[in-house]
Chain A
């Protein structure tokens, strides 16, 4: 019998390392890609299907699956090395990873955004950094269909893939103490939407009236990893109108 081994291209980039004494990170390279994204989703799904004793939860990101565990339970009350147990478990999941299947088609979610002005105080800065006119920044930002790679940073906050490279702008050196909910921002080659008022270092180019996080709902996050979305530019009047309907 041949030892199972992970699909070759993923094996060559896979790394396992600790995040402190109660989490293991499985990293598949350091490039955002839909193939990596699907592999991470499949691995997370495997943990949902067959959770191991002591699994607390996991967080999937662009190229990482971070698995939180209870070292006491995993170590069987201190009898085994808990890190090794979880790392071995993740390695075998990786080995069993089926060839990445075609992603299921999900409905496109439209996110209306009022760009610039007081809603997007950094639009001018992004325009200056990228050498584009503000209108061109908006046009490029509303053009693609984005993939929701992960939810994180705040409840319901989507990290999106698919932003045109020309829009790449670094984060702020010092995060703002408070960014309003609905703010649409750029950080490096990423774009996303703030779902709650929170501190943050992204360059803010606009704001959406839609609620991305509703704790009283059965599924509290509007978006899920794996979905596709598009930004639609709206006026300030449309923003106010939509905000009334959202509340």
Chain B
């Protein structure tokens, strides 16, 4: 049970829900940049939401399935094709051994997630299969996938196997078959558009000048090419504090917007460090991590202020949505 990487793409890594529990030792969480999309793809193939899958960035890989698989892709539309036919997002797809998945230009978003029923069987390191590139641990040898890699997979779960058979029973001649049902999912923002993410005031918001506070909420920022899984380095209005007093290092998290003295903010992403010493002007809400993760380098970003009650409302709303989807899928297709 496996798939082979014929071409690696720009940056393809193995990610599960993340490596929780070791931040106290300085070990970062990692996990998907767009957690919603990985969870969605997993649920659609009948996996627990936090199962390891592939995170595919901008220029996708070419993958050959060496055995039959039940797969699903969510997140960015990177013009995927399976055996040269258009490959749909957010639908379970039964593929036969030998099918080839390839990618083209990014139409919307920049990160796609490929889930395989049954998950991947790379080793678990410190409680997770997520790739932590800088420390070279987790995933496949702690690195991005390369040409020639064989990604070991568990193969479809019994329920996944049954769905696989049902889907392909109706199309015995075809190499692959798509489920006719799919959830209602908003597509990732189209290329070239400006994305607005909601954010809370950061703990050091008040330390910034009034002008910088206003600029943060009102002006547009650009995600510079010097951005990665650790953080988005933004260009735009420079943000300054009233005094340049050093602050004590303390915990930071996914979505924290910190501002080094030069004034260009950094939005911390999935591979963020556990602590930092730069003042935190904002904190993107969890419900908008998916939107944030789909903004490509060169893309435009705005921040809209919300309060904690609203942020937690949307967190719970998103969670309920996923739980309902999970129950419906379990009932209708994976029982």
Which A residues fall within an 8 A CB radius of B? 17-23, 25, 30, 32, 44, 56-64, 66, 68, 71-72, 75, 77-78, 81-83, 150-157, 159, 170-171, 173-175, 177, 187-190, 195-199, 201, 213, 215, 219-221, 225
CB < 8 Å neighbour of B134 from A44, A150, A198 = A198
Question: Which of B23, B253, B274 contacts A20, CB < 8 Å?
Answer: B253
Contact of B253 among A32, A68, A170 (CB under 8 A): A68
- Residues of chain B touching chain A, judged by Cβ–Cβ distance below 8 Å, are 20-28, 125-126, 134-135, 137, 200, 203, 226, 230, 244, 246, 248-256, 260-262, 273-278, 280, 283-287, 308-309, 311-312, 315-316, 319-320, 323
A66→B260 CA distance, assembly (Å): 21
CB atoms of B246 and A220 under 8 A apart: no
Q: A20-B283, A57-B23, A152-B275 are in contact. Are A62 and B248 (CB under 8 A)?
A: yes
Residue of A with least CB distance to B251: A66
- Complex A-B: 21 CB contacts under 8 Å: A20-B253, A21-B285, A23-B251, A25-B251, A57-B24, A61-B249, A68-B23, A72-B315, A72-B316, A77-B323, A81-B309, A155-B135, A170-B246, A171-B246, A173-B262, A175-B260, A197-B134, A198-B273, A215-B27, A215-B137, A220-B25
In-complex Cβ contact of B200 among A20, A71, A156, A159 (8 A): A20
B275's partner among A61, A78, A175, A188 (CB-CB below 8 A) is: A61
Q: Are A30 and B248 in contact (CB under 8 A)?
A: yes
Q: Which B residues are in CB contact (< 8 Å) with A64?
A: 250-251
Point out the residues of chain B lying under 8 angstroms from A63, CB to CB.
248, 250
Contacts of A159 in B (CB 8 A): 249, 275
The listed residue (B21, B203, B246, B319) touching A17 by CB distance below 8 A is: B203
Name 20 extra pairs, CB < 8 A, besides A59-B274, A64-B251. A20-B286, A20-B311, A21-B287, A21-B311, A25-B203, A32-B248, A44-B24, A56-B21, A57-B23, A59-B23, A59-B251, A62-B248, A72-B315, A81-B312, A153-B276, A190-B248, A198-B273, A201-B278, A220-B27, A221-B25
